[in-house]
Amino acid sequence: MSKQESLIIGRQPLIEALQSGRAIDKILVQNNANGEVLSQIRALSKEFNIPMQIVPAEKLNYLTKANHQG
């Protein structure tokens, strides 16, 4: 990851970033994630035309080294 890239870790921090208008290149979601919060993230990603990629948990674990919440 370059110095200019940053990660938003967690569902609620992502929702807050989307609602605040923060520039986001793409959203990575764990392949078995579900629930009302994820539905809200999907809706916001469509609203702001942000690509959403479904990935295995291992990829999120590798990228975050933290509790990413899917």
Query: The pTM is what?
Result: 0.78
CA gap 43, 40 in Å, rounded: 5
Domains annotated for the chain, with CATH where assigned, are 11-64 (3.30.1330.30)
- The pLDDT of 47-65, averaged and rounded, is 90
In tens, the pLDDT along 7-30 reads 898 899 999 999 999 999 999 999
Q: Which of 6, 18, 13, 2 is nearest to 70 (CA)?
A: 13
